[in-house]
């Protein structure tokens, strides 16, 4: 069963200047992004800062209204709703089904609330009675590996990793259909990152979570995702099953991201070319393939023709003229 289908999602922001703040242009933060997430699947959305991945996540959560496109969400089997055009009022009953794990476990928890109240807050809003709330909070603390006594303490008494566990418990309180995790380990020490990744893996197994996992580097998502979508300047440039993408990337930008992953893991590919230059400006992207000024394989066609996202091997999609030419030549 498909839980989420994002169809040609675009989001642009006005650029305003002058005394009267007139609109002088638009930043196309997200352009024609499409993907789906199946029940129990984790899709990682990866790219450098400013590539649009967080904007996609915020559109799905409807913290931002999309400029165009559809966000088909199935809160339960047999029901599919397009979230894109919904008003705040119509979205309200659906919010319990999509929950978020935030990047910063220090900023995302109210320091004046006890942990038990933080975790119980979504239950309270949903009208769950007090006795059931208490039982659920105890269950959730156990689920994320925190002691029952954590309930009556304040967030400052906990380490970064423990706070992220509290954030995860809160996100799971209402048993959501989809969890959106926005860089959930990037603010943590490397050793703590591994603990949180292991916890997420355990929860995937126990609860069959469906998750969109947003991250800026491929090192983090390898063990937690079933598939990976790579974004560059507002567009998805590659989507593939995780093992396939790490073993044989089919877009030069993915190769570059993999080259940037520390090589503690010897099974990762080595020798990929790190791209030269800066990430393109989404307010003024280069014509053709936006990656061409940095791509070691760029040819004339790349400078004028936008490559479409095409299936270049079973289940592997790449927006690259070279990948398509290799496919046509039978090199898959």
Chain positions contacting ligand SF4, by CB under 6 A: 251-252, 289, 291-292, 295, 297-298, 302, 307, 320-322
Residue 124 C-beta: closest distance to ligand SF4, Å: 49
Residue 237 C-beta: closest distance to ligand SF4, Å: 7
Q: Whose Cβ is closer to ligand SF4: residue 167's or residue 285's?
A: 285
CA distance 199 to 224: 10
Check residue 20 and report its DSSP letter: T
Residue 296 C-beta: closest distance to ligand SF4, Å: 8
Q: Whose Cβ is closer to ligand SF4: residue 291's or residue 317's?
A: 291
Q: Where do we find the tokens 């909070």? A: 137
Name the token pair of 79. 């029901």
Residue 280 C-beta: closest distance to ligand SF4, Å: 11
Residue 307 C-beta: closest distance to ligand SF4, Å: 5
Produce one character per residue of 272-301: b if its CB has 16 or more CB atoms within 10 Å, e if not. beebeeebbebeebeebbbbbbbbeebeee
Name the token pair of 123. 């239950």
Residue 122 C-beta: closest distance to ligand SF4, Å: 43
The rounded Cα 255 to chain-centroid distance in angstroms is 19
Q: Whose Cβ is closer to ligand SF4: residue 75's or residue 293's?
A: 293
The answer to whether the beta carbons of residues 29 and 13 sit under 8 Å apart is: yes
Strands (E) in the chain, as ranges, are: 2-17, 22-38, 42-46, 68-76, 79-82, 98-101, 178-182, 211-215, 227-232, 235-241, 310-313, 316-318
Alpha helices in 76-129 (DSSP H): 88-91, 115-125
CA distances from 332 to 209, 216, 245, 311, 328 (A): 32, 27, 13, 11, 9
CB neighbour list of residue 220: distance below 8 Å, 6 or more residues apart: 185, 186, 193, 197
Q: Whose Cβ is closer to ligand SF4: residue 155's or residue 249's?
A: 249
Q: Whose Cβ is closer to ligand SF4: residue 82's or residue 311's?
A: 311
Q: Whose Cβ is closer to ligand SF4: residue 170's or residue 321's?
A: 321
Residue 64 C-beta: closest distance to ligand SF4, Å: 28
Check residue 64 and report its DSSP letter: S
Angle at 17 between CA 16 and CA 21, to 5 degrees: 70
Residue 58 C-beta: closest distance to ligand SF4, Å: 27
Q: How many helices (H) and strands (E) does the chain have?
A: 11, 12
Q: Whose Cβ is closer to ligand SF4: residue 123's or residue 295's?
A: 295
Q: Whose Cβ is closer to ligand SF4: residue 170's or residue 294's?
A: 294
Q: Whose Cβ is closer to ligand SF4: residue 116's or residue 307's?
A: 307
Residue 295 C-beta: closest distance to ligand SF4, Å: 3
């Amino acid at each position: 069963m498909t839980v989420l289908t994002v169809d040609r999602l675009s989001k642009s922001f006005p650029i305003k200047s002058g005394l009267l703040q007139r609109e002088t242009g638009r930043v196309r933060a997200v352009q024609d992004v499409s993907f789906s997430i199946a029940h129990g699947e984790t899709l990682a959305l990866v790219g450098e800062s400013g590539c649009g991945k967080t904007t996609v996540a915020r559109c799905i959560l409807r913290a931002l209204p999309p400029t165009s496109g559809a966000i088909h969400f199935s809160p339960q089997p047999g029901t599919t709703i397009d979230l894109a055009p919904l008003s705040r009022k119509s979205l309200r009953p659906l919010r319990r089904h999509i929950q978020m794990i935030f990047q910063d476990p220090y900023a995302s928890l109210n320091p004046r609330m006890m942990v038990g109240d933080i975790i119980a807050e979504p239950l309270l809003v949903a009208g769950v009675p007090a006795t059931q709330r208490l039982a659920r909070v105890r269950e959730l603390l156990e689920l994320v590996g925190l002691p029952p006594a954590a309930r009556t303490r304040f967030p400052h008494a906990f380490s970064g990793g423990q706070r992220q566990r509290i954030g995860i418990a809160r996100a799971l309180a209402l048993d959501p259909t989809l969890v959106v995790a926005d860089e959930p380990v990037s603010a943590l020490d490397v050793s703590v990152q591994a603990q949180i990744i292991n916890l997420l893996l355990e929860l995937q197994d126990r609860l069959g979570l469906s998750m969109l996992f947003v991250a800026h580097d491929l090192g983090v998502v390898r063990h937690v995702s079933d598939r990976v979508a790579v974004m560059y300047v507002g567009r998805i440039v590659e989507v593939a099953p995780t093992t396939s993408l790490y073993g044989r990337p089919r877009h030069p930008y993915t190769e570059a991201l993999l080259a940037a992953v520390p090589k503690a893991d010897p099974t990762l590919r080595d020798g990929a070319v790190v791209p030269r230059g800066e990430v393109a400006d989404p307010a003024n992207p280069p014509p053709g393939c936006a990656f061409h000024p940095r791509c070691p394989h760029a040819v004339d066609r790349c400078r004028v023709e936008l490559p479409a996202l095409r299936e270049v091997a079973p289940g592997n999609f790449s927006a690259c003229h070279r990948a398509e030419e290799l496919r046509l030549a039978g090199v898959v």
